[in-house]
Structure 1
Amino acid sequence: MSVHILEIYVHRFTLSRSFERVTYDGLASARFLPRWSSIVIVFPAAVFFLLSHFSLSTFPMTKPTRILDYLFKRFARCQHRGSQQEDLESIAAGEQKVFRFETLAAATSNFSPQNELGVGGFGPVYKGRLKDGRVVAVKRLGYGSRQGDREFANEAMLLSGVQHKNIVKLYGYCAHADDKLLVYEYVPNESLDKILFSKNNQTTTMTLDWRRRYEVMVGVARGLQYLHEDARTPIIHRDIKASNILLDEQWCAKIADFGISRLFPETGDLTHINTRVAGTNGYMAPEYVMNGSLSPKADVFSFGVVIIELVSGQKTSAFVPQPGASTLVEWAWRFHRKKLAMEILDPALASTADADQVALCVHVALLCTQADPNLRPDMRRVIVILSKKPTALEDPTKPGELGSRYRRKSKSSSRATRSSAAFTSTTITSSPNAGHSATTSSTASTAAATPPRQQPDGPQLAYETVKV
């Protein structure tokens, strides 16, 4: 019995280290480590087992199993501290495939600028065609960048088990020297922000009528509901915005870019986690910006901002502050309060929009963007509201007003209060002259923010923080 247990663990460990993947058509083939690697692993394990056999036999029958399991896992973890490339190549699982770098270079015409679809915060995205005829989008993550490595690992891991019509599909990945690439389904109508806000795209903007915009809202809501409640482990996207929503040939919305997403642990009464702040100006929830408190309600807040953008046709980062309305959401709240929701409607939708439906969408958006996360609906309720048009809904609180829980917390330190206020005014509203929304990153703690620093590669902002 004991010998059988040993054989099982040695066999399991040898396979986990030696076998990489079995793939198909233009993908990397299976590789095995040299034969001596197994000998090096098996021999010391066998010696260890023989020396400890008699002491282990004095325990009940289940004890050797548990002790060996613990010891071999510790040994395996030490052995797995190999090269960074080995670590990255072992992350994607399930149906995702390992593509050869040469295959992706050929598919994108050696990453030709003519095939470039856009440039994100972590690198460019290229259009490509595989030998089997599939058209794909290839994201090439920050060459030689540690941040790119982290995004690669995070996105490959999170999307490996995600299957939903409103979430972009990950076909596979490639780790080649300093290059880290992710391969997705190609979504032909590009991103929502290019269609909605581009001044050079008036024809396409007009085709995004009210019915399609409403369907985009519902599609994104369904995708988020899946991530929060139906995925194997709940996922918080952390960066829901128009540029991370893609539209396919049927105008079906697909959530993309999971580089900074987080798994949300399913642990009893756990309602939030504290984490390093990362996201985009104008879309981040106040409790997340100031306290690093992250929960699915942070995605709900961002979704509410996207609804206001869809209704108004205005970009939150380009909003010009007005008296009594420093953000696009506050501006919408002022009109909603006066029951004048149609006043914020995009003029291009005047002939196609349903007034009652517009008012409902604005109401839902303002419920989603309430400062207190406990007052925001979850995505399941949002879908019900958008689908069934209830006759009565609670009134949303004014955006930007913190709930009592946060006011009590801030009283403990007046310095923290002043710092939080300064941080909020800086991060939630971007300059109207910015070319695109700036992405922020800071340490999650009660912090005093220093002035933003302009990065050399564009209007991305980083904040340094100090504990108080």
Structure 2
Amino acid sequence: MEGVLGYPFWGPKRPDYCGHPKFELNCSGEAPVITINSTGYRVLGIDSREHFLTVARTDYWNDSCPQEHKNATLDSTFFDYTSETQDLTLYYRCSSAVSVGVSSQFSCPNDGTTVTNFFATDATKKLLSTYSPTCQESVVVRISDSEAGVIEEAVNALLQPNLTAALVSGFVMEWEANNSRCDECVKSDGVCGSNHTTGEFTCYCKDRPYKFMCGSDSVTPGSGIGAAVSGIVVFSIAIACYYKRENIRSTRIVIWKTNTRDQEFDVKAFIRNYEPLAPKRYSYATVKKMTKSFAERIGKGGYGTVYKGKLPDGSLVAVKLLNESKSNGEEFINEVASIGRTSHVNIVTLLGFCYERTNRALVYEYMPNGSLDKFIFTQESSSTNRHLEWKTLYEIAIGIARGLEYLHRGCNTRILHLDIKPQNILLDDGFCPKISDFGLAKLWLTKESIVSAAGARGTIGYIAPEVFSRAFGGVSHKSDVYSYGMLILEMVGGRKNFDSAASHTSEIYYPNRIYKDLEMENEESILGNIMDGENEISKKMLLVSFWCIQTNPADRPSMSKVVEMLEASLESMEFPPKPYLFSPTMSP
């Protein structure tokens, strides 16, 4: 979740008195679900500071044809739509006579040959205004303005809009649950909650519960605890609320103690708290069986070796066996805690894990085309020798950007990857890129833009300046943007950006030379003999990459902006300034 799970939310692992009666989360499925006026909503994100909730209707999750077609309403006392949302109307069982020439159509199972369904935003309703009387049912669902814009652009271009994408992206609503009271309670060193008998707001303090804030008012009347209960018991309830909340925080990357017993306890505590929400847990014997005793090695990295395996249903998997020498648990926790809560087409899927003493393994979906590096690094640097077409490289660049955008802004917890490089980009059989290897990742559980990065590491040639020297600023999502920029430069140039074996200073950092050619419009030197249509793609990728590797993190775009630039026209892009780390006057 975006932000730490706390008041007013509660659920199976968080007592009802720690939250508000209207904000129960059911965590039994793949994602938390909140029920509002008898309608279930899948919770995609929680912003506790701004009091925003990103949700999508459960009955329309990956399904535009639920068994029951019903409109939903919000409880206006506690919830309200934000201004950045709008209605999407779905029309069911319409006459086939209206289907000609309308792109916003969708079908449902068991639809007859004479039945057609349509969907329309507020702006595209006029296209269907003459058709709606012929439709037997209509349902209004809420979507974001950005998704509505995508639908409208597709309709105007006579393309088929992606209805499923609009529904699963969800929308943002605002909540009100005695927010101002809770703020005052927290300021007074209390913990926000409610009276589990009356549902009234309660501030749990060290000595006793109060109506508003610690020490300023009488004990909450009718409290289930009662005014006569000792301060120790009341304090224990406040600690219970705090501890349940802190269990969520415990999944962030930590600086490990040197004592082995402490290390082992930390990992076991994590497994105990997180396992109900994690992918499937396998025994070590099962892992050995699925890999045929680790018979086929398909990769090796600093933290472990990857083997090819097969699940009982025949599905191929990649099993990453972590090195025993790295068995303090940091790598294991980072990957399970970060990637285990993601779900995106451009993020590799973690299917399961194994934890038995020093035997630790991670089970991923299998990527038949391996990693990106083997397709972009050739023996010759000429672009005519590359293995992938420019259009494919461009689509891969956009896919990686969308994956990072999701990690930074769109998933349940913001995640900084901190090790973006070609070896960590895997390709499926259709060359769809998937970000992998979250061993150095940091969970970004608040809206703070800077995270702690004690002992931060990475791969030379991709590390942002601020990661190895705080003189350049704090580590943030802009650090991933820098690594992405360096990766794109390598994809365009077909060679590594950093060459420690180079004999001349000017050859060590390839970006320095490529920027000079770009500035002088010496495109032939940069890209070699390529077609005119491909030149626009490659030049656009270069401009984006140099914006991404600006030395000052504040000058770099967000990944959302990167996606926007990649999809925009070349003429609309501004020429980036030269990153001063690559200035000829500076030593590399």
TM-score range, shorter chain: 0.5 to 0.7
The 3-state SS of whatever aligns with 2:393 is helix
1:298 is displaced (CA, Å) by: 0.6
Give 2:461's match in structure 1, choosing from 282, 288, 292: 282
- Partners in 2 of 1:334 and 1:190 — Cα distance? 33
The match for 2:160 is none
- Give CA-to-partner distance per residue, 1:356-391, whole Å, 9 cap, x none: 221111111111111111111111111111112152
Normalising by structure 2, report the TM-score: 0.54
Partners of 1:158 and 1:258 within 8 A in 2: yes
1:186 is displaced (CA, Å) by: 0.5
- Give CA-to-partner distance per residue, 1:266-322, whole Å, 9 cap, x none: 336x44545332111010111222117211111111111111111110012337375
- Partners in 1 of 2:538 and 2:208 — Cα distance? 71
Unaligned runs of 5+ residues in structure 2 are 1-12, 18-27, 30-206, 210-217, 248-261
Normalising by structure 1, report the TM-score: 0.66
Taking the TM superposition and a 5 Å limit, the aligned residue runs for 1:325-344 are 326-344=508-526
- Structure 2 residue 308 is the aligned partner of structure 1 residue 127: yes
Which amino acid in the other structure matches residue 526 of structure 2?
A: I
- Partners in 1 of 2:332 and 2:278 — Cα distance? 17
Taking the TM superposition and a 5 Å limit, the aligned residue runs for 1:80-99 are 83=265, 86-90=268-272, 91-94=274-277, 96-99=279-282
Taking the TM superposition and a 5 Å limit, the aligned residue runs for 1:55-454 are 59-60=219-220, 61=223, 67-72=235-240, 83=265, 86-90=268-272, 91-94=274-277, 96-112=279-295, 115-147=296-328, 149-197=329-377, 199=379, 206-267=386-447, 270-271=449-450, 273-291=452-470, 293-318=474-499, 320=502, 322=504, 324=506, 326-345=508-527, 350=530, 354-401=534-581, 425=588
CA separation of 1:306/1:172 partners in 2, compared to 1, >3 Å: closer, same or farther? same
Which amino acid in the other structure matches residue 69 of structure 1?
A: I
Partners of 1:240 and 1:303 within 8 A in 2: yes
- Give CA-to-partner distance per residue, 1:128-178, whole Å, 9 cap, x none: 00111111100011115345x111011101112100000000001000121
Which structure features the higher share of helix residues? Answer: 1
- Partners in 1 of 2:445 and 2:582 — Cα distance? 26
What fraction of aligned residue pairs are identical, expressed as a percent?
31
The 3-state SS of whatever aligns with 1:300 is helix
Paired residue total: 349
Partners of 2:378 and 2:386 within 8 A in 1: no
The 3-state SS of whatever aligns with 2:317 is strand
The 3-state SS of whatever aligns with 2:491 is helix
The 3-state SS of whatever aligns with 1:277 is coil
CA separation of 1:281/1:144 partners in 2, compared to 1, >3 Å: closer, same or farther? closer
Which amino acid in the other structure matches residue 348 of structure 2?
A: V
Which amino acid in the other structure matches residue 97 of structure 1?
A: K
- Partners in 1 of 2:243 and 2:554 — Cα distance? 44
Root mean square deviation of aligned Cα? 3.6
**For the pair shown, which has the larger CA radius of gyration, 1 or 2?**
2
Partners of 2:499 and 2:509 within 8 A in 1: no
CA separation of 1:296/1:11 partners in 2, compared to 1, >3 Å: closer, same or farther? closer
- Partners in 2 of 1:401 and 1:255 — Cα distance? 27
Which amino acid in the other structure matches residue 224 of structure 1?
A: L
- Partners in 1 of 2:568 and 2:419 — Cα distance? 28
1:185 is displaced (CA, Å) by: 0.3
Which amino acid in the other structure matches residue 268 of structure 2?
A: E
CA separation of 1:106/1:329 partners in 2, compared to 1, >3 Å: closer, same or farther? same
- Partners in 2 of 1:241 and 1:9 — Cα distance? 39
Which amino acid in the other structure matches residue 256 of structure 1?
A: S
- Partners in 2 of 1:10 and 1:165 — Cα distance? 35
Partners of 2:335 and 2:438 within 8 A in 1: yes
1:324 is displaced (CA, Å) by: 4.8
The 3-state SS of whatever aligns with 2:351 is strand
Which amino acid in the other structure matches residue 315 of structure 2?
A: R
Partners of 1:92 and 1:157 within 8 A in 2: no
- Give CA-to-partner distance per residue, 1:323-375, whole Å, 9 cap, x none: 55641221221111111244222x5x735961122111111111111111111
